[in-house]
Amino acid sequence: MGYLSHILILINIYIILSVSTGLLVGLSRMISLGQAAFYGIGAYITALCILLLDLSLIPSLILVMFVNAVISLLLALPAIRLKGDFFILATLAFQFIVYYLLNNLVSVTNGTLGIGGIGPASLFGIFEISGQGGFLIMSAVLAVIVLALFYKLFHSPYGLALKALREDEVALQTMGRNTHRLKILAFVISSAFIGWASYIFATYMTYIYPGGFHLEESIFILIAVLLGGSGTIRGGVAGAVFVIVIPELLRYAGFPDDIAAPLKQILFGLILILVMRYRPNGLFGELKL
């Protein structure tokens, strides 16, 4: 039961990550390689909230969302004017900058040693959230809230405007819509809710270090979005389940760790190629409009 609970908690974390990123990638067609940077920023802010400020669940979530939103806004204002590969390169540069800051701001992040002793989480400072059962409930509740909020967002007038932006930005501009503002808001919302996943991860693992938020993690999140189907809620859920379960199946197959790790990357790469060839919108993505 402990192992199953652990897998379900990880799935809930990746549901939040993939659905949040799906707003950016799936609806507005902006490929970002900086999602792990916001994931890491949120985790370190969580450590600050708990270890230094002694904040409970809700104030911590609000503060993490606010910090991620402000930083993403500062990044989006100049980067959003870049097109295609140049926007990707801008987010990639941001990813590397954050990673090296986490490594080198030793007085704040403890450098490569990381920060331990995070947690436990608490609700209103009264009810302590600890143990796999408590974190499973907390992660499931937060994941369901994110799913409900993003379902409403995807089907709201704003979501429809993003879909129109995805299909033909020039046509949307001729209708008088400010496409830069739409993109900036999508970037900010996506980054802010990634902070929820950061909070769950940091309090559940109780230890964070810069290596957990490298470029590879951004690619992993992007794979979840693209495989499941960008731009849909069911796609985000399917992608999260997929990227967590597949490595565990390889573990059960009996491969040693030094073989399982590269095999996982090869397998994900092969599956991604096949999905992009035969299901370009993902396994559970939207049909082409």
Domain boundaries, the chain: 2-211
Residue 287 has pLDDT above 60, yes or no: no
Residue with structure tokens 């991604």?
272
pLDDT of res. 286: 62
* Better pLDDT: 204 or 3: 204
Number of Cα atoms under 13 Å in the Cβ half of residue 219? 8
Residue 215 has pLDDT above 80, yes or no: yes
**Cβ neighbourhood burial of 137 (10 Å; 0-12, 13-18, 19+):** middle
Tens of pLDDT, residue by residue over 117-167, are 887 787 876 778 878 888 999 999 999 999 999 999 988 998 888 888 887
Mean pLDDT in the chain?
A: 87
Q: Which two tokens stand for residue 151?
A: 């379902």
Q: Which two tokens stand for residue 59?
A: 């104030």
Distance CA 75, CA 77 (A): 6
Instruction: Tell me what percent of the residues of the chain surpass a pLDDT of 70.
Output: 95
pLDDT of res. 285: 66
Cα→Cα distances 97→12, 175, 223, Å: 28, 38, 22
Tens of pLDDT, residue by residue over 218-262, are 988 988 888 888 778 888 898 899 889 888 777 777 666 677 677
